[in-house]
């Protein structure tokens, strides 16, 4: 009897335990962590810009940053070689590319097309700026191989109160440099240096040659053809650029500071910027000035605010709908053959998403979001109206460093004389072209001599030099031993 009773108690206890255990959920299998390596220019910057927000949504990803900076490159290699070695060594799943690198990587088959991912996820591109998407598709030969969360652009800010005060019609979209300079010249130039009004200011433009360089960049002109290594300054197009710049400087309508502002407090910024002080009618700048103007109004009670607006920056008269000042330089693309395609796509997808843009749009920075409709600032629109044009920034980098500084000094000296009416523009251009070509030939010869000196003796004997190159190298010997230069990391 007792034994039967104990058996019942044991069975009842077991059933009770089973019932209690059934009240708790069965632990699910933990999702395995995924690995992802992303290329970026700095680890701290990456997590601040993208990584922290991404991990808050994708906690199952073990994220690593392949830091791409000068410390990771071999200084004896050109940029292409150094970048290739970096990629082979790090094997990042996601590349961080400029538009030039993006186009080149597409041609070499190094990138995976995003079209299958976009189609499978029904990923919406319509909220992104059409001109940026079209540009990426153009560089990709008709397909999307990467997406850029941001882009950089400039616009022309103008002081509406000054235009109203002097009865001058304000600027409008799609103006050329000639039209902007003509408009700046309509403002009075009388009065003392500490009180007078200027028509235009451009950051880091202090001299006639820096203004000419800025104008030439908009029009797509270069002073040297790096493929032929010929100085191409003495042309009608360049002559027109110099005439604009010289006339603008002589008119005193353009504010040319003695020294540019490199940083400091908000008060220092205000003290150094005449546009913020209400003394410059127009200023060419990026979108961060919008944030600065708002900060001054909110944080500095004595700041005298003024009405302002924005229009598009200067355009090439050959195509007023586009601009070389619109840069798509933060493209994330997936490496072809990566073992982590899903995690890579999750990253590219998220940092280009509406969710990400809505968070980042709280602050207007120098680079703008490609999904720019999240901004509450209507004046952002002027930065988005022009479509980007392809610009090969590696062209100038191909020039020898020893040539660049000497040519810059030559330009500055000769054009300074023209501004002071000590020299004629036509004659100055002829002298710059002749002397500049000599400087370039010497620098190129010195570079070639260095390359030959690095090769084995058997290669020296088998190398064939033209008669012209022989004399160029001979003349460059003195330069070689007088100056020590480090060869730039250039994309050849």
Residue 266 pLDDT greater than 90, yes or no: no
Of 69, 143, 68, 80, the residue nearest 111 (C-alpha)? 143
What SS3 state is found at 103? helix
So what's the pLDDT on residue 373? Answer: 92
The structure's pTM equals 0.83
CA–CA dist 450, 280 (Å, integer): 50
The token duo for 87 is 């990629």
HEC sequence for 386-446: CEECCCCCHHHHCCCHHHHHHHHHHHHHHHHHHHCCCCCHHHHHHHHHHHHHHHHHHHHHH
Query: Which strand ranges, in their side-by-side order, compose the sheet holding 198-201?
Result: 254-255, 198-201, 280-286, 154-159, 308-312
So what's the pLDDT on residue 109? Answer: 97
So what's the pLDDT on residue 247? Answer: 96
Residue 119 pLDDT greater than 90, yes or no: yes
Q: Nearest 5°: CA angle at 190, between 187 and 191?
A: 125
Angle between helices 401-419 and 236-250 (to 10 degrees): 60
Q: Other C-beta atoms within 10 Å of 192: how many?
A: 6
Residue 9 pLDDT greater than 80, yes or no: no
| DSSP characters over 2-61 | HHHHHHHHHHHHHHHHHHHHHTSPPPPPPPPPEEEEEEES-HHHHIIIIIHHHHHH-TTE
Q: Could you tell me the pLDDT band of residue 448, with boundaries at 50, 70 and 90?
A: low
CA–CA dist 42, 33 (Å, integer): 24
Tens of pLDDT, residue by residue over 15-72, are 444 444 454 444 444 567 899 999 999 999 999 999 999 999 999 999 999 998 877 7
Q: What is the mean pLDDT of residues 129-137?
A: 96
So what's the pLDDT on residue 450? Answer: 59
> For residue 383, which phi and psi values (nearest 5 degrees)?
-80, -10
What is the bridge-based pairing of β-strands 308-312 and 154-159?
antiparallel
Out of 223-237, 426-440, 445-459, least confident range: 445-459
Of 436, 440, 402, 442, the residue nearest 234 (C-alpha)? 436
CA–CA dist 325, 327 (Å, integer): 6
With a CB cutoff of 8 Å and minimum separation 6, the contacts of 280 are 159, 197, 198, 199, 200, 201, 255, 274
Q: Nearest 5°: CA angle at 129, between 173 and 359?
A: 110
So what's the pLDDT on residue 480? Answer: 37
So what's the pLDDT on residue 452? Answer: 52
Q: Other C-beta atoms within 10 Å of 368: how many?
A: 24
CA–CA dist 438, 420 (Å, integer): 26
Higher pLDDT: 216 or 486? It is 216
Residue 283 burial (10 A CB sphere; 0-12, 13-18, 19+): buried
CA–CA dist 455, 451 (Å, integer): 7
HEC sequence for 169-191: CCCCCCCEHHHHHHHHCCCCCCC
Q: What is the mean pLDDT of residues 409-425?
A: 95
Of 154, 153, 151, 168, the residue nearest 283 (C-alpha)? 154
């Amino acid at each position: 009897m007792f034994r039967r009773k104990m058996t019942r108690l044991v069975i009842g206890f077991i059933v009770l335990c089973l019932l209690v255990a059934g009240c708790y959920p069965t632990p699910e299998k933990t999702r395995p962590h995924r690995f992802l390596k992303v290329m970026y220019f700095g680890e701290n910057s990456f997590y601040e810009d993208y990584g922290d927000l991404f991990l808050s949504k994708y906690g199952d990803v073990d994220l690593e940053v392949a830091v791409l900076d000068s410390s990771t490159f071999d200084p004896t290699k050109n940029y292409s070689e150094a970048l290739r070695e970096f990629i082979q060594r790090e094997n990042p799943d996601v590349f961080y590319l400029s538009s030039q690198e993006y186009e080149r990587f597409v041609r070499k088959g190094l990138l995976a097309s995003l079209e299958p991912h976009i189609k499978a996820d029904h990923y919406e591109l319509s909220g992104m700026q059409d001109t940026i998407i079209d540009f990426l598709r153009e560089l990709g030969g008709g397909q999307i191989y990467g997406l850029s969360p941001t882009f950089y652009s400039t616009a022309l800010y103008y002081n509406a109160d000054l235009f109203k005060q002097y009865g001058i019609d304000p600027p409008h979209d799609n103006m050329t440099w000639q039209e902007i300079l003509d408009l700046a010249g309509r403002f009075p130039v009388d009065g003392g240096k500490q009180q007078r009004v200027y028509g235009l200011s451009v950051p880091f433009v202090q001299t006639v040659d820096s203004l000419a360089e800025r104008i030439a960049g908009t029009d797509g002109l270069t002073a040297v053809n790096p493929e032929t290594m010929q100085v191409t300054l003495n042309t009608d197009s360049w002559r027109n650029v110099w005439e604009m710049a010289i006339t603008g400087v002589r008119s005193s309508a353009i504010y040319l500071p003695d020294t540019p502002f490199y940083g400091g407090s908000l008060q220092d910024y205000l003290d150094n910027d005449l546009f913020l002080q209400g003394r410059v009618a127009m200023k060419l700048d990026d979108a961060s000035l919008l944030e600065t103007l708002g900060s001054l109004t909110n944080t500095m009670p004595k700041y005298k605010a003024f009405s302002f607006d924005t229009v598009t920056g200067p355009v090439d008269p050959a195509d007023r709908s586009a601009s070389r000042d619109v840069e798509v330089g933060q493209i994330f693309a997936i490496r072809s053959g990566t073992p982590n395609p899903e995690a890579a796509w999750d990253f590219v997808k998220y940092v280009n998403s509406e969710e990400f843009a809505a968070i980042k749009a709280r602050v207007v920075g120098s680079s703008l979001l490609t999904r720019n409709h999240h901004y509450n600032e209507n004046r952002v629109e002027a930065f988005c109206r022009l479509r980007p044009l392809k610009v090969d920034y590696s062209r100038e980098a191909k020039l020898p460093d020893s040539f660049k500084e000497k040519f810059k000094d030559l330009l500055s000296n000769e054009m300074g004389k023209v501004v002071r009416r000590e020299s004629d523009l036509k004659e100055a251009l002829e002298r710059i072209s002749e002397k500049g070509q000599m400087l370039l030939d010497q620098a190129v010869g010195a570079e070639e001599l260095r390359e030959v000196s690095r090769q084995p003796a058997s290669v020296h004997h088998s190398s064939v030099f033209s008669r012209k190159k022989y004399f160029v190298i001979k003349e460059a010997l003195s330069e070689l031993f007088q100056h020590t230069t480090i060869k730039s990391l250039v994309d050849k």
